[in-house]
Structure 1
Amino acid sequence: MDRDQVLVLNAGSSSLKYQVVGPDGSVAVKGSVDRLTGEDDHARALAKVTEDLRRAGVDDERLVAVGHRIVHGGPRLTTPTVADDDVLKAVRNAVPLAPLHNPPALAALEAAMSWLDDVPHVVVMDTGFFADLPDHAATYAIDRDLARRHDVRRYGAHGISHEYVAARAAAHLGRDDLRLVTLHLGNGASAAAIDAGRPVDTSMGLTPLEGLVMGSRAGDLDPGILVHLARHEGLGTDALEDLLHHHSGITGLTGRSDFRDLEAGLEDGDDACRLAWGVYCHRVRKYVGAYHAALGGADAVVFTAGVGENSARLRADALAGLARLGIEVDAARNEADSKAVRAISTDTSAVVVLVVPTDEELAIADATRAVLHRGAS
């Protein structure tokens, strides 16, 4: 029996998504284990994955490799790499930079390496796409020696998704020289400026906390707020980290943790939801304008991920008032129910607005195969 399938494991802070992808991109089985609350849960969740694979008739002997999404690779782990002790150490060392995401990913990786110990395991970093950001975009204006000692720079995140949708947008428009503003909008959210396939800037920073408003993360905020709260509320570093990760963003403003609940509250006239919606859209609009300028003029704006792909109202409101930048959304196209790559801008819009479904698992599978191919050549 030929080994030709890649198992992709995408461990989030509270879920473990998986797919088995064939050499032609076909998906033999996919699913997720949700509502996980600890690192041990992710290891135990693999038992459910094993059961699902066997129920679907997927034989372990068909697996050529396992690809793993790692949110943060730190300063040195930047390209897809076969996991070994040094890789595990690098992922572990980057835990302080992604405390919600790296621990469960590491737990799933170690458990999977024990379960499937006869095939290579390849890690694909969400920070990797942004490893070569221009220095002026990657550098924070703090004491340079302090920054160097602690590897402080802009690392970004969601790079797997941004790179994937940028390539699909280029294929859809038949151009490889596009200047793109890509918007990955989900529970976690980020923006990127991409010129001819290479990143120019991105909104997430040293950690996945910076940038757009998110489900429970504030995104951009004055760092003086943290000093103020530490001094006057007595909040220590652990309490501040908990605030930033779990009690900010849409959750902090409304008490609602799901974007669909936010939209429902908006429909019901809830004042807190109305304010949160305005804050969310305002932040997206600011980044679109800023990256339009950073690119010297964008050719297209691309929406992707759960919110970006599914909320027509968000897309319309976030880009409202940008006609002077050449960005105009066609209401009928925007409201159309479709899962295809599609333009939702008017025929006269100077900047094309696209909705491009992301597929991080397929991108991870492709990157995993590329690593195996390099190793065999």
Structure 2
Amino acid sequence: MNILIINSGSSSIKYQLISMPSERVVCEGLIERIGSENAILKYSTDTSKLEETQAILSHKIGLLKIADLLLDPSLGVITNAAEIAIVGHRVVHGGKAFSDTSLIDASVKEKIKNLFSLAPLHNPHNLEGIELAEEIFPNAKQVAVFDTAFHHSIPEVAKRYALPKKFYENKVQVYGFHGTSHKYVSEKAIEYLQLKSSKIISIHLGNGCSMTAIKDGKSIDHSMGFAPSNGLIMGSRSGDIDHAVIFYLVETLGYTLEQVNELLIKKSGMLGLTGFSDLRDIQTEAANGNQDCILALQMNTYRIKKYIGAYAAILNGIDAIIFTAGIGENSALIREMVCTDLEFMGITLDTDKNNTRSKTLLEINKKGAYVKVLMIPTNEELEIAKQAYRLINV
């Protein structure tokens, strides 16, 4: 059974065609820097590989290019759309409506649309991908896997805001995000560590960034909340900010609420601090002495450290911390800056191991370290495929 996985991020699309139940990857690829004239398109199979830089100004254009590659007479891996049995979609916000994987119908699409305001960088692209996949692969079953589902285990003490109870009853709470990724890598860590009980901090660092405190395989706290906008400093999102700043921007500086929303979600974070949203550019500039970029890296990793301390407290100790996703897997500098001066917690990094490139789980702490520091490549696409396959075949 061929399952096509579409994983739309805020500025990227990862995709894989996976044969299930063997879990064999037939093809895979990535589109990065969507919205720019210099987007990067990657596509690979067992026999071919393509990488191009071109203008991809929207997620829709990117999705159409993916479909063209899959069906391409020379590079493609299918001859017609009917060969795709299931299209599995990552959907960022499921609210209280979705606690598990769901077969997509008109009602599901409407609920995803109703959550646009809570995940404006993601849910619209997720729904766009669903609707486009319905057109291109009309015979395939469309399945949604929600980022928020893994975090339904967060206890009330952690997911409630200090607001009157009526707001909680009206669905104002912590939902949590990147759940598919946090679930996948934490399960890999538990398997690797061979622990019957475990205390793990999972650090997902990409254009969007989040951290999860995971006890015995279950999410018990998370850095994002009602929407995927608070917590860590991200590519273009500010992360945690004093809400009084919003009132100051509106009442004193004359911003509209719409302008404030755009500022905090699309023009802040690393982009606002440096003028760059891609960490690779920021690291290059920092190495060349750009003080704004140096400070931004310091602020970014400082925030991560604060959350490590907080989650160590609520977990009552740590067995392991995990770095994952595009930045977490590839930036030795970020990992080093995060782990520096955490020796008192038992976190010590082996410099040589940290600078080793790996496509599989890598333990990068010093030998004998009390806390294991793991780099684990996330595979949201495989996790989505497994959940979609189970849903259709159970």
TM category, shorter: over 0.9
Residues 35/320 of structure 1: CA separation in 2 closer, same or farther (3 Å cut): closer
Is 1:11 aligned with 2:32? Answer: no
Does 78-87 or 22-31 show the bigger shift? 22-31
Give the CA deviation at 1:236: 1.4
Residue matched to 1:28: 26
Secondary structure of 2:90 counterpart: strand
Residue matched to 2:274: 254
- C-alpha distance in structure 1 between counterparts of 2:325 and 2:131, whole Å: 28
What is the 5 A alignment of 1:237-316?
A: 237-316=257-336
Secondary structure of 1:131 counterpart: helix
- C-alpha distance in structure 2 between counterparts of 1:90 and 1:112, whole Å: 18
- C-alpha distance in structure 2 between counterparts of 1:290 and 1:34, whole Å: 32
Matching residue's letter, 1:51: D
Does 186-195 or 61-70 show the bigger shift? 61-70
Q: Give aligned-pair identity as a percent.
A: 37
| TM-score normalized by the length of structure 1 | 0.94
- C-alpha distance in structure 1 between counterparts of 2:33 and 2:371, whole Å: 40
Residues 15/302 of structure 1: CA separation in 2 closer, same or farther (3 Å cut): closer
Matching residue's letter, 2:223: S
Residues 16/324 of structure 1: CA separation in 2 closer, same or farther (3 Å cut): closer
Equivalent residue for 2:65, pick from 48, 57, 61:
48
Matching residue's letter, 2:355: E
Residues 350/35 of structure 1: CA separation in 2 closer, same or farther (3 Å cut): closer
Give the CA deviation at 1:176: 4.3
Secondary structure of 1:283 counterpart: helix
| Alpha-carbon displacement from aligned partner over 1:327-359 (angstroms, at most 9, x marks no partner) | 111111111222220111112311100000001
Contact 2:82–2:137 (8 Å) recurs in 1: no
- C-alpha distance in structure 1 between counterparts of 2:173 and 2:105, whole Å: 26
Contact 1:74–1:93 (8 Å) recurs in 2: no
Is 1:79 aligned with 2:132? Answer: no
Give the CA deviation at 1:132: 2.2
Is 1:159 aligned with 2:179? Answer: yes
| Alpha-carbon displacement from aligned partner over 1:126-157 (angstroms, at most 9, x marks no partner) | 111112211111111112213323x1110111
Contact 2:85–2:139 (8 Å) recurs in 1: no
What is the 5 A alignment of 1:1-377?
A: 4-23=1-20, 24-33=22-31, 36-37=34-35, 41-55=58-72, 56-59=76-79, 60-149=81-170, 151-374=171-394
- C-alpha distance in structure 1 between counterparts of 2:128 and 2:357, whole Å: 38
Give the CA deviation at 1:261: 1.4
Q: How many residues align?
A: 370
Gaps of 5+ in 1: none
Secondary structure of 1:75 counterpart: coil
Gaps of 5+ in 2: 37-56
Give the CA deviation at 1:223: 0.7
Give the CA deviation at 1:190: 0.3
Contact 1:77–1:87 (8 Å) recurs in 2: no
- C-alpha distance in structure 2 between counterparts of 1:134 and 1:197, whole Å: 14
Matching residue's letter, 1:310: N
Give the CA deviation at 1:35: 5.3
Give the CA deviation at 1:13: 3.1
Give the CA deviation at 1:185: 0.6
Name the Cα RMSD after superposition: 1.8
Matching residue's letter, 1:304: T
| Alpha-carbon displacement from aligned partner over 1:191-244 (angstroms, at most 9, x marks no partner) | 000011100100000011110111111111111111111111111110011111
| Alpha-carbon displacement from aligned partner over 1:91-113 (angstroms, at most 9, x marks no partner) | 01111100111111111101212
- C-alpha distance in structure 2 between counterparts of 1:46 and 1:325, whole Å: 44
Give the CA deviation at 1:88: 0.6
Give the CA deviation at 1:76: 0.9
Matching residue's letter, 2:24: S
Contact 1:319–1:327 (8 Å) recurs in 2: yes
